[in-house]
Structure 1
Amino acid sequence: MPKKVRSSSQTSRLLSLDVFRGATVAAMILVNDPGDWEHIYAPLEHSKWNGCTPTDLIFPFFLFIVGVSIVYAMERKALNPANHAKMLWTALRRGVVLIAISLAIQLILHPGFEHLRFPGVLQRIGVVFFICTVLYLKASQKVRDWLFAILLIGYYLLMTFVPVPDTGVASLIPETNMGAWVDRMVFTTNHLWNESHTWDPEGLLGTLPAIATGLFGIRVGNWLKRPNREDSVKVSWMFIYGVLAVVAGLIWDLFFPINKALWTSSFVLFAGGWATIALAFSYWIIDVQGHTHFTKFFLPFGANAITAYVLSDFVPHYINKIRIGGSSLYQILFQPYYSPNNASVASAVVMTLLIWVLMWILYVRKIIIKV
């Protein structure tokens, strides 16, 4: 019989959460580093616009994990209000450092300020982490639930009913929606992501519902930490909660499409539901049933998630610069032996394993790089 590892109410760490974080980071590296961007299997690509692929779930899963982690990392200290000022300052510092890291990566890999992208993945993580920390420390769960609803409903009303100043009508089209207009006004067109510099998938307005994704994680984290509920009850309600969120997202999708780039309210519910289901399954298998033999691969990624993400920018960049007889390593090692799509995904798998080796070295030496 498998041995129960621990209860979430008895420890400040949750093995299933570490594994879930590690698996999410591994998936993020896999989809971000294909051998050939022109040849990618559909599940490993983001949706063109509306809709959702498995790849679209990776970033919201990470922000959901941020919310759950806030509970596990801060619950004890948060009980004493005297700790709050220091905790808020630490959260602000971490948020600023994440933004600085993202900008530094761009400047190192692509020197020059002219087209430096101001929004980004790390920027959104930093902002969501800080605001969710503030709300965790200074607001009750009831207030956070109201804010969750206000963010989702308010964002829906803003995006679908408020006319965009450029056009005079509300729009959910990439270049003409309210979020794109705000980003052009704030960042200017030189500092946005897409080639036409007219919109950005990690823009300012979309950060509002992204905060709701973090709040989703906080609610689930609070539920998992409850000492007066059996594990079977916790898992059952997480599955129910997750399924209901997915269904609600699909219903909302009928008039406010599931869209990762806009981070629509339906996308928050849909992705948050699947994240809750995934964490419930992981918690039951790993923490309750004690099946931990398969977790060792993911833990190094989970322990140094931001470091792994940063290396996933640098390692492929410099490996792709290596030339032997005028050919890249990808052209030598993968293209001649596989179909275009298989060569691309095989290269991505090798790159993920290479970064895992670096993370494993840090993990076995108990080196945790914190921002």
Structure 2
Amino acid sequence: MTTKSLRTEPQKRLQSLDVLRGFDMFWITGGGYLTVVLSKLTGAEWLAGQMEHAEWAGFHFEDLIFPLFMFIAGVAIPFAIGSKLEKNVPAKKLVGKAFKRMLILIVLGILYNGTFKNGFADGRIASVLGQIGIGYFLASLITIYFPGIKSRIFWLAGILTGFGILQLLVPVPGFGAGVLTPEGCINGYIDRLFLPGRLHGGTFDPEGIMCSLSATGVTLMGTFAGSILRKRQTTDWQKIGYMAATGVGFIVLALLFSTFYPIIKKCWTSTFNMLAGGIGFLLMALFYLIIDHWKIRGWDFYFRVIGMNSIFVYLFVRIVDMQSVTEFFFGWLAKPLGDAGSLFLIICSLALIWLLLYYMYKKKIFLRV
């Protein structure tokens, strides 16, 4: 995963960022299924619906999880790159490192897709990890060569506007312009032309070429939050205020533009980017307020342990069938519980995953790309 697979935890970290990352990964590692089980036991079926992606247009809680991780990756960029630029580390070296990270994530994404298992003939190249890598690389590239916030605002405006023009005004053969359906959107057309292998959606891929490039906007939004948090001369309340105001602004813009430009995650419309990024700003502000400003801690340790090994646990729950493992050891306890047995098993599964991550945390084993 990296040339240095074992790293010691830095002495000073933005704890709220690790906790927010862990909070985000919690839903992937079993938190979503836990919510579904609870909703069925309590009769709150609407809650289970939030744990599924919107079929096409619209926005569910599940649609936030992936872009939030991309936003968080962006928040880390000014901390990772800014300090090195201040130490006169050559820009080419930083670009090379970000490029290497992108390549590793693309390969890990292909592994995650099961391509090595099913064969390359029907393998899926596009992936969540690959999209994270592409977004991180492009946002890093912009931050390295355009470190000023004003310059990056122009880049973000260009990305959001440019993809809006492509999706709304550029005609797709056989469909015309602005047909935002799985078959008619320009994202799917470009994927069918240029993306090798199997497409996740058949006629399009939600992590395809244009989706990955468009999603760079969310990562770039994260760099603004990172720059705000890194500013030493700014007070905590100013940082929180700037992030909260920016978040609200993006959400309002997304809802206004959605009247003619739908919010669609599966083709990463600019309105979706603005909505997801806006929520990312609000969550970052909230977690920073509670953890780093008010220093209300203790509860956050569970999520921080997950956040410190996020890529590892993402791959782990894909490769290891935790449901079978949990049933193997605890099925005899779950069976007498009837309907509550599913709840018991998912809690056990979450506990086993967390204990593994806690062991790695205590041993200072942080596997990152």
Task: Give me the TM-score of the superposition, normalised by structure 1.
Answer: 0.86
Partner in structure 2 of residue 30 of structure 1: 30
Does 1:357 find its partner at 2:364? no
Q: CA RMSD in A?
A: 2.8
1:325-344 paired onto structure 2 within 5 Å: 333=334, 337-338=338-339, 343=342
Q: Quickly say closer, same or farther: Cα 1:335–1:147, change in 2 above 3 A.
A: farther
Q: Quickly say closer, same or farther: Cα 1:157–1:95, change in 2 above 3 A.
A: same
Matched-pair contact (CA < 8 Å) for 1:303–1:368: yes
Q: Which residue type is aligned with residue 357 of structure 1?
A: L
- CA distance in 1 between partners of 2:332 and 2:34 (Å): 13
What is the deviation of 1:320?
3.8
What is the deviation of 1:192?
0.9
What is the deviation of 1:137?
0.8
1:120-139 paired onto structure 2 within 5 Å: 120-139=127-146
Alignment equivalent of 1:199, drawn from 204, 209, 220: 204
- CA distance in 1 between partners of 2:314 and 2:208 (Å): 20
What is the deviation of 1:44?
0.9
Partner in structure 2 of residue 60 of structure 1: 67
Matched-pair contact (CA < 8 Å) for 2:326–2:349: no
Q: Quickly say closer, same or farther: Cα 1:35–1:274, change in 2 above 3 A.
A: closer
1:5-154 paired onto structure 2 within 5 Å: 13-30=13-30, 41-107=48-114, 110-139=117-146, 140-154=148-162
What SS is found at the alignment partner of 1:256? coil
Matched-pair contact (CA < 8 Å) for 2:163–2:214: yes
Partner in structure 1 of residue 6 of structure 2: none
Aligned-pair identity in percent equals 29
Does 1:158 find its partner at 2:166? yes
- CA distance in 2 between partners of 1:141 and 1:273 (Å): 17
- CA distance in 1 between partners of 2:192 and 2:336 (Å): 40
Unaligned runs of 5+ in 2: 1-10
What is the deviation of 1:81?
4.3
Report which stretch shifted further, 269-278 or 99-108. Answer: 99-108
What is the deviation of 1:187?
2.0
Matched-pair contact (CA < 8 Å) for 2:178–2:185: yes
What is the deviation of 1:75?
1.5
Matched-pair contact (CA < 8 Å) for 1:33–1:351: no
- CA distance in 2 between partners of 1:321 and 1:193 (Å): 28
Matched-pair contact (CA < 8 Å) for 2:195–2:209: no
| More helix by percentage | 2
Partner in structure 1 of residue 245 of structure 2: 240
Report which stretch shifted further, 99-108 or 168-177. Answer: 99-108
Q: Which residue type is aligned with residue 233 of structure 1?
A: Q
Q: Which residue type is aligned with residue 191 of structure 1?
A: R
Q: Which residue type is aligned with residue 200 of structure 1?
A: D
What is the deviation of 1:143?
2.0
Partner in structure 1 of residue 8 of structure 2: none
Alignment equivalent of 1:173, drawn from 181, 198, 201: 181
What is the deviation of 1:106?
3.3
What is the deviation of 1:178?
0.5
Q: For residues 282-327 of structure 1, what are the alpha-carbon distances to aligned partners after superposition, in whole Å with 9 as ceiling and x for unaligned?
A: 11111111111111101111111100100110122x7549998xxx
Q: Quickly say closer, same or farther: Cα 1:162–1:291, change in 2 above 3 A.
A: same
- CA distance in 2 between partners of 1:174 and 1:199 (Å): 6
Q: For residues 65-91 of structure 1, what are the alpha-carbon distances to aligned partners after superposition, in whole Å with 9 as ceiling and x for unaligned?
A: 011111122211112444322222111
Q: Which residue type is aligned with residue 94 of structure 2?
A: M
Q: Quickly say closer, same or farther: Cα 1:88–1:12, change in 2 above 3 A.
A: farther
- CA distance in 2 between partners of 1:149 and 1:360 (Å): 41
- CA distance in 2 between partners of 1:331 and 1:201 (Å): 40
Q: Which residue type is aligned with residue 361 of structure 2?
A: Y
Matched-pair contact (CA < 8 Å) for 2:115–2:124: no
- CA distance in 1 between partners of 2:160 and 2:335 (Å): 45
Unaligned runs of 5+ in 1: 1-10
What is the deviation of 1:251?
0.8
What is the deviation of 1:338?
1.7
Q: Which residue type is aligned with residue 291 of structure 1?
A: I
Q: Quickly say closer, same or farther: Cα 1:285–1:147, change in 2 above 3 A.
A: same
Q: Which residue type is aligned with residue 101 of structure 1?
A: L
Matched-pair contact (CA < 8 Å) for 1:35–1:348: no
Q: Quickly say closer, same or farther: Cα 1:12–1:164, change in 2 above 3 A.
A: farther
What SS is found at the alignment partner of 1:200? coil
Q: Which residue type is aligned with residue 14 of structure 2?
A: L
- CA distance in 2 between partners of 1:76 and 1:165 (Å): 48
Alignment equivalent of 2:279, drawn from 274, 279, 286: 274
Q: Quickly say closer, same or farther: Cα 1:113–1:31, change in 2 above 3 A.
A: farther
- CA distance in 2 between partners of 1:114 and 1:346 (Å): 40
Q: Quickly say closer, same or farther: Cα 1:321–1:285, change in 2 above 3 A.
A: closer
Number of aligned residue pairs: give it. Answer: 350
Matched-pair contact (CA < 8 Å) for 1:151–1:212: yes
Partner in structure 2 of residue 4 of structure 1: none
Report which stretch shifted further, 164-173 or 220-229. Answer: 164-173
What SS is found at the alignment partner of 1:228? coil
Alignment equivalent of 1:306, drawn from 303, 308, 311: 311
What is the deviation of 1:350?
4.0
Matched-pair contact (CA < 8 Å) for 1:242–1:276: yes
